[in-house]
Amino acid sequence: MLSKAKIKLIQSLEQKKKRSEEQLFVAEGPKVVGDLLPFFTCRLIVAENSWLSTHSTTQAAEIVEVTQEELRKASFLKAPQEVLALFELPTYPTPHSIVSEELCLALDEVQDPGNLGTIIRIADWFGIHHIFCSTGTADAYSPKTVQASMGAIARVRVHHVNLPEFLQDTRTTQPKTPIYGTALDGNSIYKEPLSTHGIIIMGNEGKGISKQIQKIMTHKLFIPNYPEGSTTSESLNVAIATAITCAEFRRKSQEATLRHCQL
């Protein structure tokens, strides 16, 4: 049976302050919990017998079998999915030099948890292992973000940093590392040469990339509509724009690899 104290603890983790105090976050559903179990330390599993019967070797500090009704009381979902787990928040070093070796994302004030979770999922799909978030970006370990990431949060490391300082430090210490950003006055992403390493900055849902960070960027990219110059929607959702941008970077990287192999 799930105690009232545990239900209260789980529900409190909707708040960033409580997640920081308890050093815990919530994940729900067989897919998300299953993806996170090999990567994070699990403090508590709350699950129905249907899930427990097929996961008898699962390791957790505590496992509580519950009914569907008990799970509903603890869950953040409208339709709870068999299992809920509490994981310890991970601590990652901030790898400043990684941007000279790999392609990374940076998010400037992306505030919607659903957008952030989707961007984490997109990064995972395109083999991007690090995302650097401004302090005003949504928390990567909120229940909504974790759910929207669909388990990708296990494979993508999200770093919350002072983004202007991080980018300026990169520009100063690694002057050859490209810092890309999407902007309405940028060059078409389909016509620009794109690197296999560096940073891609995506901006706030309504305001785009801040002027402070625009000054640090080395390349401005624009995703043109089709046909160019026609009347279409005013802008793209930031997660959709991220997907298009990452796909184009990977496409050009693949083409460059194929050309090199043919030489």
pLDDT in tens, 70-125: 999 999 999 999 999 999 999 998 888 899 999 999 999 999 999 999 999 999 99
The first and second tokens of residue 21, run together, are 């105090």
Same domain, 67 and 147: no
Gap between the Cα atoms of 14 and 8, Å rounded: 11
Q: What's the pLDDT tens digit per position in 112-164?
A: 999 999 999 999 999 999 999 999 999 999 999 999 999 999 999 999 999 99
Q: Which domain holds residue 149?
A: 96-262
Is residue 62 scored above 80 in pLDDT? yes
Same domain assignment for residues 34 and 154: no
CB neighbour list of residue 200: distance below 8 Å, 6 or more residues apart? 103, 104, 105, 106, 180, 181, 242, 245, 246, 249
CATH code of 105's domain: 3.40.1280.10
Q: Are residues 133 and 79 in the same domain?
A: no
pLDDT exceeds 70 at position 262: no
The pLDDT value given to residue 193: 93
Q: Are residues 34 and 108 in the same domain?
A: no
- Of 61, 88, 115, the one marking the end of a domain is 88
- Within this chain, do residues 22 and 112 fall inside the same structural domain, yes or no? no
The domain total for the chain is 2
Q: Which two tokens stand for residue 202?
A: 């995506």
Residues 63 and 135 placed together within one structural domain of the fold: no
- Sheet containing strand 83-88, edge to edge, reads 24-28, 83-88, 42-47, 63-65
Domain end residue (candidates: 30, 57, 88)? 88
Give yes or no for a contact between 134 and 107, defined as CB atoms under 8 angstroms apart: yes
Are residue 63 and residue 167 in the same domain, yes or no?
A: no
62 and 131 inside one domain: no
pLDDT of residue 255: 76
- What's the whole-number mean pLDDT along residues 213-240? 88
Last residue of a domain, one of 88, 116, 151: 88
Q: Is the same domain home to 162 and 245?
A: yes
Bridge partner residues of 83 (DSSP): 47
Task: Give every CB contact of residue 252 below 8 A, 6+ residues apart in sequence.
Answer: 193, 194
Domain identity same for 79 and 105: no
Residues 47 and 107 in one domain: no
CATH number at residue 10: 3.30.1330.30
Whether residue 158 sits in one domain with residue 57: no
Question: In whole numbers, what is the pLDDT of the chain averaged over residues?
Answer: 93
